[in-house]
Amino acid sequence: MLSRRKFLNAATAASLAAVSPVNLLAEQRLLPTRLIPATGEALPIIGMGTSAAFRSGDRAASWNVISPFQDHGSRYIDVSGSARFLVADIVREKRLTDNVFLGSYFSTEDDAVSRTDAARLLEISGKESLDLMHAYPENAVPNWHVMKGWKQDGLTRHIGVARHSSKHYSAMMGLMETGTVDFLQVNYSLLETQAADRILPMAMDKGVAVTINRPFINGGYFDIVRGRELPAWAADFDCESWAQFALKFILAHPAVTCVLTETANPKHALDNLGAGFGRLPDDQQREKMLELIGSFA
């Protein structure tokens, strides 16, 4: 697999400068935001998933990748497992309690354990209420009343359902029919477009915030664009790397609130953040993007 490092090193110096902190600060320091329908809260359009730095427990590496996101207004960190406690501790240490929107996963099958974990996160992070507690549909569907209880009790401000496979879309849509889902997290990208058929339009209709996972298909996207030159017409929507090409396609969908990226490399983080600035492709350009990537696959 061709690494992101090789892609970025192959870019021109001008392209690298375009997504550098200096230019972002000079032209548009903070990422654009979109509203969470349930609360009207503004959420920056690019966030972070569970970075390998978080999973490794490396505090220095974790901060090195969180820092550029914070510098440019990114708030959402979506983190699972024990890594969430590390991130919560960093949030408190760096006095970012009010600057981070923390989303994590909980089991609805054991309410007591989930409440204990949530209480621990609250204590470590310094938050009065968690920002988002979400669960996988196979647990959430039969136990949605448990999640509603978390919200009613003030343990969290938002509840949601998350998965990364189209086989779960029907169950997730069933939950959205209840009108009580605040967040939906699904996979959607240039290589996985199934969510655009039914589940994303439904989220828009129901007023559900949408976060996107797997924007690069766990790196598989970079295998496909390996050694290929970014088309000149990508400049028409201010795109300067293959990573931005993928992210801008996603962000151009009207249902999308935020796309989650995962990296342990600060340079890659800046490249990802660059996708949030400048123009986004229109419908015709998005079709052209799909055709191009389809010709590579």
Which contacts qualify for 119-122: CB closer than 8 Å, 24 or more apart?
Answer: 119/155, 120/85, 121/84, 121/85, 121/88, 122/155
What pLDDT is stored for residue 15 in this prediction? 39
Judge if pTM exceeds 0.85. yes
What residue ranges do the domains of the chain occupy?
Answer: 4-296
CB 99 within 8 A of CB 72: no
What pLDDT is stored for residue 173 in this prediction? 97
Using CB atoms within 10 Å of the CB of residue 24, give its burial: 0 to 12 exposed, 13 to 18 middle, 19+ buried: buried
What pLDDT is stored for residue 29 in this prediction? 83
Length of the chain equals: 297
What pLDDT is stored for residue 269 in this prediction? 94
Dist CA 35 CA 33 (whole Å): 7
What pLDDT is stored for residue 154 in this prediction? 96
Of 43, 24, 65, nearest to 274 by C-alpha is 24
CATH of domain 4-296: 3.20.20.100
The pLDDT tens digits along the chain (297 residues) read 334 444 333 332 333 344 443 454 345 589 999 999 999 999 999 999 989 999 999 999 999 999 999 999 999 999 999 999 999 999 999 999 999 999 999 999 899 999 999 999 999 999 999 999 999 999 999 999 999 999 999 999 999 999 999 999 999 999 999 999 999 999 999 999 999 999 999 999 999 999 999 999 999 999 999 899 999 999 999 999 999 999 999 999 999 999 999 889 999 999 999 999 999 999 999 999 999 999 997
Residue 123: other Cβ atoms inside 10 A? 11
Residues 6+ apart with CB under 8 A from 287: none
Give the pair of three-digit tokens for residue 34: 């979109």
